[in-house]
């Protein structure tokens, strides 16, 4: 089984602050990970290392068989799909939904004279269809609802056929219906053996799609627990991770958590 992420004692410091503290994390082909932690725990920073967009201050980071610091990151980055609020902000609201996805074939935002093959158009439309926004292909990105925008972004992140897909809080800001639609789409993605390795960042266990296999819990930049979902998502470890006494339930493939009733 090939190793997709191989982080050994990864530490990221900014000034006096240690954002990631000796993080060791191994992700293998076929796995679907959820990354959980409170605000400021270091989740987005860890994703940036995994995307080859940030180098550790110390430790070593292997991404898709390449070692950060010893590889041309401009060759590595297109192999990793990312959907995040920061990347969404870079998309022009005037761009059509079709172009938002299509331009990712060449790692761009904004259409600029480049010519696309018929096969690119077909792939973009197929991805929009998978995420239930195919009928909106001619609309401007800026006119979409938050949920439609999130699903378009994931279609965009998949367009270049990445080997690793990193999703940073894809359900943030969605209403209950929108969240459940997104969880449904991600469940299908998780179960499809053709999908890339998935890493999903969230604050809420309710957003974990069935089909996800592993979890990493991060607290104050340190790994609190990591491993198969059923072993890691215990009341005890989640309570430590979020700093509050929690009860956890797992039913019909979905997780939920709430404060312990005294």
Least separation, in Å, of the C-beta of 222 and ligand ATP?
Answer: 12
Query: Smaller CB distance to ligand ATP: residue 128 or 215?
Result: 215
Q: Per CB under 6 A, does 37 bind ligand ATP?
A: yes
CB-wise, 40 or 142, nearer to ligand ATP? Answer: 40
Q: How far is the CB of 176 from ligand ATP (least distance, A)?
A: 21
Residue 84 makes contact with ligand ATP by CB under 6 A: no
Per-position DSSP letters for 16-32, written without gaps between them? TEEEEEEEEEEEETT-E
CB 232 within 8 A of CB 248: no
State phi, psi for 109 to the nearest 5 degrees.
Answer: -120, 140
Interaction between residue 107 and ligand ATP (CB under 6 A): no
Q: Report, in Å, the least distance between residue 44 CB and ligand ATP.
A: 3
CA angle centred on 257, ends 5 and 259, rounded to 5°: 130
Mark 178-197 with x for binding to ligand ATP (rule: CB under 6 A) and - for no binding: --------------------
Total residues belonging to the chain: 262
Q: Which helix (H) or strand (E) holds 33?
A: strand 32-37
Q: How many residues of this chain interact with ligand ATP, rule: CB under 6 A?
A: 12
| Joined tokens for residue 251 | 């039913």
42 binds ligand ATP (CB under 6 A): yes
Does 45 bind ligand ATP (CB under 6 A)? Our answer is yes
Burial class (CB in 10 A: 0-12, 13-18, 19+), 198: buried
Can you tell me which of 44, 103, 153, 237 binds ligand ATP, judged by CB under 6 A? 44
Structural contact between residues 63 and 48, judged by C-beta atoms closer than 8 angstroms: no
Q: Where does this chain bind ligand ATP (CB under 6 A)?
A: 14-15, 17, 19, 37, 39-45
């Amino acid at each position: 089984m090939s190793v997709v992420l191989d982080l050994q004692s990864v530490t990221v410091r900014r000034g006096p602050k240690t954002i990631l503290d000796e993080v060791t994390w191994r992700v293998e082909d076929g796995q679907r990970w959820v990354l959980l932690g409170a605000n400021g725990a270091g989740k987005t920073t860890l994703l940036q290392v995994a995307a080859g967009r940030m180098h550790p201050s110390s430790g070593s980071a292997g991404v898709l068989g390449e070692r950060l610091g010893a590889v041309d990151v401009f060759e590595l980055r297109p192999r990793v799909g990312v959907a995040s609020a920061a990347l969404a902000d870079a998309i022009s609201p005037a761009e059509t939904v079709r172009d938002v996805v299509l331009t990712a074939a060449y790692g761009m935002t904004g259409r600029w004279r480049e010519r696309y093959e018929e096969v690119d158009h077909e792939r973009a439309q197929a991805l929009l269809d998978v995420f239930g926004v195919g009928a909106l292909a001619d609309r401007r990105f800026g006119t979409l609802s938050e949920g439609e925008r999130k699903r378009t972004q994931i279609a965009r992140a998949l367009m270049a056929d990445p080997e690793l897909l990193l999703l940073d809080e894809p359900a943030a800001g969605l209403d209950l219906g929108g969240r459940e639609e997104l969880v449904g789409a991600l469940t299908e993605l998780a179960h499809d053996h053709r999908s890339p390795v998935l890493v999903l960042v969230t604050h809420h266990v309710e957003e974990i799609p069935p089909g996800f296999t592993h979890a990493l819990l991060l607290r104050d930049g340190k790994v609190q627990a990591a491993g198969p979902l059923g072993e890691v998502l215990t009341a005890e470890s989640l309570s430590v991770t979020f700093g509050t006494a929690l009860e956890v339930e797992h039913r019909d493939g979905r997780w939920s958590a709430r404060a312990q009733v005294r």
